[in-house]
Structure 1
Amino acid sequence: MRPAELPYRTLVIVRGTDRGAALRTVLTLAEEGLTASEVSLTTTDALWVIEQARRELGPDADLGAGTVLTADDAARATDAGAGFLVTPGLVTDLPHGPGHPPVLMGALTPGEIMAATRHGALAVKLFPASHGGPAYLAALRTPFPDTPIIPVGGIDAATALAHLTAGATAVGVGSPLIGDAADGGDQHALRARAAHWRSTLAAVVAT
């Protein structure tokens, strides 16, 4: 898969304190058409959640692990079934290339984006995106026109549209969409938020 050919435009970040609820959240999102999810390793029993979600969703689902900080985190997440890895910042010792899951590496500055690319990142997770907003992303597109960039942090439906218009490859969304669902909250409310998210973004891109 080439970086410019990410198969999704929305990456949902699932983080919660209830492992069963976190699993149900991933599955509910998939049922509602938001099929790319990252389970943060800060989630209670995150590896169990990834393992069970992979079993339910199948080998081709876009299911990854987030908050990957070390090579050991990467290995454990991969063994659990994570198909990609997401870091909050530069983690330069992760294995990459054939036989290893692609990495969406966290970066904020131009120098960090260059470093992430040198260390094999499939895409750059621009974090926290709220620091500069869509205008900052648009400015980064001048020196990095071909680098896949996924803004994360402070993204809601309105700012997602703005970032996608400014050149984001995809957007990462957490609590504005998930709410308390992964902590045991209402899954019906999650379905409603997911439907609203998809309808809001449908005017610009497929999710």
Structure 2
Amino acid sequence: MDLRAALASCRLLAIVRGGDPDAALRTVLTLAEEGVELIEVSLSGADALTVLARARKELGPGRPLGAGTVLTAADAHAAHRAGAGFAVTPGLGTGVDTALDLGMPVLAGVLTPTDVIAAEARGAAALKLFPAAGAGGTAYLKALRGPFPGAAFVPVGGVDVTAARDYLAAGATAVGVGSPLVGDAADGGSITDLRERARAFRAAVRTGAWAEGPA
């Protein structure tokens, strides 16, 4: 898949991390039903590889589905076997290179200009700016875009509906959203509430100048 193009088109990456594997699977499937096209299952969740494999079986081979928190080469291999089509990392560990070797595009975690240079040199499809809020939010994103105007940044960490709009307006290609979107659904919480949050986020990322075309 062309992960950068998918991020630019969808503008939203949902991050599912839960303590209840069955609830996490329901969360993935519900998000897909609500039109959230890009979903990652974090490997730090309970029995995440099983969740990922079951989600892949339910969604079919053509639906974008990624593995998050890919830290090591072993993580990348396990995610690939479970059916992940792309990998998301919090930093630039060995999982980046192994995922790329396996043919999985990578959304690589970066924070500093040095990280950006290293991630792009290694062939990352896009750059996960993490933790975005702690780094300085939209002001920091704008600062990074100065020397790297062509980079595809995806802020992650503390992104609520308002912040999603702000990051996109500041030039982000997409936003990655975990708990503000998923809430407690992946731990057995309300699916009805999850649907409402999904609709709110989808509306937010479709509205604005960024909706006119891919970044």
Fold shared per TM-score above 0.5: yes
Report the Cα distance in structure 2 between the residues aligned to 1:26 and 1:102, rounded to whole angstroms. Answer: 20
- State the partner residue of 1:129: 132
Q: Is the 8 A contact 1:92 1:119 kept in 2?
A: no
Give the partner amino acid of 2:128. Answer: K
- State the partner residue of 2:117: 114
Q: Is the 8 A contact 1:96 1:120 kept in 2?
A: no
Give the partner amino acid of 1:39. Answer: V
Give unmatched runs, 5+ long, in structure 1.
Answer: none
Deviating beyond 4 angstroms after TM superposition, the runs of 4 or more aligned structure 1 residues are 1-4, 96-99
Report the Cα distance in structure 2 between the residues aligned to 1:98 and 1:16, rounded to whole angstroms. Answer: 28
- State the partner residue of 1:38: 40
Q: 1:169 to 1:9 in 2, by over 3 A?
A: same
- State the partner residue of 1:82: 84
- State the partner residue of 1:159: 163
Report the Cα distance in structure 2 between the residues aligned to 1:66 and 1:96, rounded to whole angstroms. Answer: 12
Q: Is the 8 A contact 2:23 2:186 kept in 1?
A: yes
- State the partner residue of 2:5: 5
TM-score computed with the length of structure 2 as normaliser: 0.91
The number of residues matched between the two structures is: 207
Indicate the percent of aligned positions where both proteins have the same amino acid. Answer: 57
Q: Is the 8 A contact 1:69 1:91 kept in 2?
A: yes
Give unmatched runs, 5+ long, in structure 2.
Answer: none
Q: Is the 8 A contact 1:23 1:49 kept in 2?
A: yes
Report the Cα distance in structure 2 between the residues aligned to 1:80 and 1:3, rounded to whole angstroms. Answer: 18
Q: Is the 8 A contact 1:4 1:146 kept in 2?
A: no
Q: Is the 8 A contact 1:91 1:105 kept in 2?
A: no
Give the partner amino acid of 1:121. Answer: A
RMSD: 1.8
Report the Cα distance in structure 1 between the residues aligned to 2:151 and 2:182, rounded to whole angstroms. Answer: 28
- The structure whose residues are more often helix, as a share, is 2
Give the partner amino acid of 1:190. Answer: L
Report the Cα distance in structure 2 between the residues aligned to 1:195 and 1:165, rounded to whole angstroms. Answer: 19
